[in-house]
Amino acid sequence: MSTLAIDVNPLAEDVQCSEDELIVSLVDGRKISVPLAWFPRLAKATEAELGNWEILGDGQGIHWPDIDEDLSVNGLLKGTRSDQ
């Protein structure tokens, strides 16, 4: 039986937001999809604010400067929600 190694340092390369979903594409080909409702600042943001994001570091996180929201890729993979 063989197993696949999981990247222990996953990195984001692209971000998309729909009406109710955050989708983060990783450099290894995976996509993380989570409800915007998990992140109240994102859920309340305008389309323009959602579209203004930056990759942090080499891809460890995502920053939305207009709404002062930061999310880590590791946090998304762990299912960590924002309480604000």
Q: Is the pLDDT of residue 84 over 90?
A: no
**Could you tell me the residue range of the domain that residue 41 belongs to?**
12-78
For residue 40, tell me if it sits in a domain: yes
For residue 3, tell me if it sits in a domain: no
Q: What is the pTM of this model?
A: 0.87
What would the pLDDT profile of 10-66 be if each residue is shown by its tens digit?
A: 999 999 999 999 999 999 999 999 999 999 999 999 999 999 999 999 999 999 999
For residue 71, tell me if it sits in a domain: yes
For residue 58, tell me if it sits in a domain: yes
| Number of neighbours of residue 42 by Cβ within 10 angstroms | 21
- CATH of residue 29's domain is 3.30.2020.40
User: Domain count of the chain?
Assistant: 1
Strands (E), 1-84: 12-17, 21-26, 31-35, 54-56, 61-64, 69-72
On the CB side of 37, CA atoms within 13 Å amount to 2
Pull the structure tokens for residue 80. 């960590």
For residue 84, tell me if it sits in a domain: no
